[in-house]
């Protein structure tokens, strides 16, 4: 497969991603950032780098809010997805 064909198929695949799939990917990324911030806060407490600790604490608040919102969306989309699948089974 030539690079041009690969990128064409890759682009088509990206366009077919559902909102539920996008949210799952976003949750994985947000979880990694969340873990990184927590490790950074612990490291800054040990190293007594207070100015960076303040920045990380602010980031922790922002990412926590974002994470909670993403979890709420995930639960809602999961219920919708289950209802759609149930309706498809009943229509068959």
- In the chain, domain spans: 27-91
pTM of this structure = 0.69
Helices (H), 16-49: 19-47
- Rounded to whole angstroms, the Cα distance separating 61 from 59 reads 5
Give pLDDT tens digits for 34-76: 999 999 999 999 998 899 999 999 999 999 998 899 899 888 9
């Amino acid at each position: 497969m030539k690079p041009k064909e690969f990128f064409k198929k890759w682009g088509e695949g990206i366009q077919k991603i559902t909102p539920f799939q996008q949210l799952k990917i976003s949750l994985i990324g947000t979880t990694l950032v969340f873990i990184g911030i927590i490790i950074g806060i612990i490291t800054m407490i040990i190293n007594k780098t207070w100015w960076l600790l303040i920045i990380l604490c602010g980031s922790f608040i922002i990412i926590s809010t974002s994470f909670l919102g993403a979890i709420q969306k995930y639960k809602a989309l999961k219920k919708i997805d289950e209802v759609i699948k149930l309706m498809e089974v009943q229509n068959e």
